[in-house]
């Protein structure tokens, strides 16, 4: 489902809002029952995907089979410190379990150390391996913007794009900050919209902020407040209809 050129309450529908959301089920203390409940919520609201911990990919894939909701997971989460070959193994195992979207954390320390070739190569090796196993696999690179300077964010965007990633993503939601409008505008301005999309994640709990993120250039939203956001959109649309 494509977004309107100017996303707003007036131009969006509840269904379109839901299809921008990767519903996050990543809390370290989350139980299997909570994961299953969250996946059923995704099926009910028809989100773009669910993003679960690697250990829960198979569970999510079983629950969501035939629903039209994709299963995603995280790689090198939450700090990006595992070696490249371990991230690749993690990615391939996740695909075997049913994941079709991979949100990988880049090596933040190596980026800040100026080891750009290593950062690019890590993303590229994982992307090539994942797409070699599953050509339709979607690879998103988490920058963790709250830990980076603007110059480092721009460099990370360009390295990710050069490496063939499908998305650049603001945050894990488990560091010192989440998505900001300034970061989204910066990321959008420094990637090619025809090849590289932008995902906003971290602290997006309201419909108004979700729409602000879309207006700033986000194509996908990572959120756990899916029901509240979509229900608010439905309520506003219903109120809008009554006023007409």
- Return the residue matching tokens 């945050």: 171
Is residue 141 within 8 A of residue 113, CB to CB? The reply is: no
Query: Phi/psi zone of residue 130: left (φ > 0), alpha (ψ -120 to 50 degrees), beta?
Result: alpha
**CB contact burial 198-214 (16+ within 10 A = b; e otherwise):** bbbbbbbeebebbbbbb
Give the CA radius of gyration of the chain: 17
Distance (Å, whole) CA 53 – CA 35: 9
Task: With beta carbons less than 8 A apart as the criterion, state whether 71 and 49 touch.
Answer: yes
Report residue 191 as tokens.
């990637």
Catalytic residue among 169, 185, 237, 242: 169
58 catalytic? Reply is: no
44 part of the active site: no
Given the residues 19, 153, 199, 237, the one annotated as active site: 199
Burial category of 79 from C-beta neighbours within 10 Å (exposed 0-12, middle 13-18, buried 19 and up): middle
Q: Are 14 and 230 in contact (CB under 8 A)?
A: yes
- For 216, the 3-state DSSP assignment is coil
Sign of CA dihedral 78, 123, 191, 50: negative
Q: Which residues are catalytic?
A: 169, 199
């Amino acid at each position: 489902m494509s977004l309107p050129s100017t996303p707003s309450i007036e131009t969006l529908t509840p269904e379109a809002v839901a299809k921008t959301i990767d519903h996050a089920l990543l809390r370290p203390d989350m139980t299997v029952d909570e994961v299953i409940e969250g996946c059923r919520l995704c099926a009910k609201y028809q989100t773009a995907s669910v993003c679960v911990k690697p250990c829960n990919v198979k569970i999510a894939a079983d629950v969501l089979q035939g629903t039209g909701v994709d299963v995603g997971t995280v790689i090198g989460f939450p700090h990006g410190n595992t070696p490249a070959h371990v991230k690749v193994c993690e990615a391939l195992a996740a695909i075997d379990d049913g994941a079709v979207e991979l949100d990988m954390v880049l090596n933040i320390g190596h980026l800040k150390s100026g080891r750009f070739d290593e950062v690019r190569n890590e993303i590229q090796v994982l992307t090539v391996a994942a797409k070699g196993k599953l050509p339709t696999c979607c690879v998103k690179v988490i920058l963790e913007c709250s830990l980076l300077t603007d110059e480092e964010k721009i460099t990370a965007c360009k390295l990710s794009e050069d490496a063939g990633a499908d998305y650049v993503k603001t945050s894990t939601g488990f560091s010192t900050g989440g998505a900001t409008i300034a970061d989204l505008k910066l990321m959008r301005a420094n990637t090619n919209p025809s090849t590289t999309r932008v995902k906003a994640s971290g602290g997006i709990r309201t419909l108004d902020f979700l729409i602000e993120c879309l207006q700033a250039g986000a194509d996908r939203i990572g959120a756990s407040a899916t029901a509240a956001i979509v229900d608010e959109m439905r309520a506003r649309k219903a109120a809008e209809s009554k006023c007409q």
